[in-house]
Amino acid sequence: MRIISYNLNGIRAAIKKGFIDWLKTNPADVICIQETKAAFTDIDVKELEDLGYCHHWFSAQKKGYSSVAVFSKTKPDEVIKGTGHELSDFEGRVIQLQFGEVRLINAYFPSGTSGEIRQAYKYVWLAEMQQYLEELKKTNPKIILCGDYNIAHNEIDIHDPKGNKKSSGFLPEERAWMDDFIKSGWVDTFRQFNKEPNHYSWWSQRFPSVRLNNKGWRIDYISVTTPLQKNLVGAHILPNVKHSDHCPIFMEIKL
């Protein structure tokens, strides 16, 4: 199974930039989208269906905000919307698909860049998600967690670690959560195959030269639980695909 995770920062804007044409190149079997900022009624889903994708959406109650979706060429056995955490589900942050004994989770982690209130909620969300995943592993030990985590884990994952040491997304507490997450039985699939620096998945839109000069952050991940580690085939980032301020990330696994 070829899986892509991609924060589109608005699917309607991405479609105007050629997103559907890119899907026509058959980039993956499963496309996990974060920040659709839309409901399925806002776009022409027939274009997805004509390409062989079944589509599953979990949208925020607030229009044009957050929201996740999964486009899959394999019909899942089950679709679960949300995690049961009220605010997270209100914001449309998590959708889950069951494929046999494998649970695929597509998640849009909160950002704390807008201020202290959202940063505080980010920590609450991370704690809730960690607890949820630990419980889920008891009955579903084989899990794939795709998404925009909004955290650059290590210095290698950000172009200016010294200048951003007090920036949301690279704070010590956030990075410590990632440490604990990995130690609890998860594999960062990109780093499993790529140890080099200068690989990023998000670039600020404030200055056009930022992406041109590759001054980015790696904040998008596809992680798997350790029982799936032996099934990994490869993983990479696609920085030249440009429908968003993020780019797609790719992982292939034998299921």
HSE-up of residue 53 (Cα within 13 Å, Cβ side): 24
Beta bridge partners of 148: 108, 220
Q: Which of 44, 77, 148, 157 is catalytic?
A: 148
| Phi and psi torsions of 202, nearest 5° | -145, 140
Neighbours of 56 (CB within 10 A): 20
Q: How far apart are CA 82 and CA 151, in angstroms?
A: 21
φ, ψ (nearest 5 deg) of residue 237: -115, 145
3 state SS of 79: strand
In one-letter notation, the amino acid at residue 132 is Y
Token pair 């026509």 is found at: 24
Contact 137, 185 (CB under 8 A): yes
Say which amino acid occupies 228.
Answer: L
Q: Is 148 a catalytic residue?
A: yes
Give the active site residues.
148
